Amino acid sequence: MWEPDCGFAVKNSVREAWMELIKNISTAEQPYLFTRHVHFLNFSRFGGDQPVYINIIRDPINRFLSNYFFRRFGDWRGEQNHMIRTPNMRQEERYLDINVCILENYPECSNPRLFYIIPYFCGQHPKCREPGEWALERAKMNVNENFLLVGILEELEDVLLLLERFLPHYFKDHRKLGNLTVTVKKTVPSTESIQILYQRMRYEYEFYYYVKEQFHLLKRKFGLRSSNGNSSPRPEFAIPSPLETEEPVTEDEEQDDEKWLEDIYKR
């Protein structure tokens, strides 16, 4: 449990980090492209100019599998090189069979660790880290209102074509871009494991299919033919309905940032 003075210090450090990020991006010499893993931050609420947000997501299970094996074996740069960079990983963890991880409900293969994509779009509110309808709806709202484009990795060429049209100064020679980090030793889990992952990641998939649908609408608007890409098909088995959760708050009902930060660090 945080002591009051400690909580206040941590709360201030979070806000200071936000303000520093906003300042650095807002005052950078233009044109400026900032690429980092950052949960959505509304600059305008802190007196800054809202940047142009773009993002690309991929099939949630494919993303999970790539991350699982990359953590253990790296990419084309070599397994031995990757082991040197992850010296604290125990051998039993490195060589843990992915089916065992999923079927025996290891933390790495369960929620909240599997709830990964939505929080980046949901934002900074602590409820954005909790798998549920609230975070899902907030993420969808931010996609609609605050992102110029959210593309699908399985249709990367079309994403780059749209970015070239929307932001030609940054993407006018996009054909030089490519994937240089192919994960090695990646295996496909069993059908049973895949089904369990779908069930555990149902919110992630609802968000993924929503973004994919919006992306295809945008493609048609600009004359690009939609394709199914190489993403995983919808499962033939039923995905459980979302759990009953409280309704997402509206902008008018949203807690003040100061208030919910205080609540976090009182715990």
Active-site residue list:
37
Query: What tokens does 243 get?
Result: 């759990």
Tell me the sheet residues that pair with 147: 53
Phi and psi at residue 76, in whole multiples of 5°? Answer: -60, -15
Query: What tokens does 126 get?
Result: 């602590």
Residues 6 or more apart from 91 whose CB is under 8 A from it?
none
DSSP letters for 110-166: STTTT--HHHHHH-SSGGGGS-SHHHHHHHHHHHHHHEEEEEEGGGHHHHHHHHHHH
Note whether 158 and 222 are within 8 A (CB): no
Note whether 9 and 265 are within 8 A (CB): no
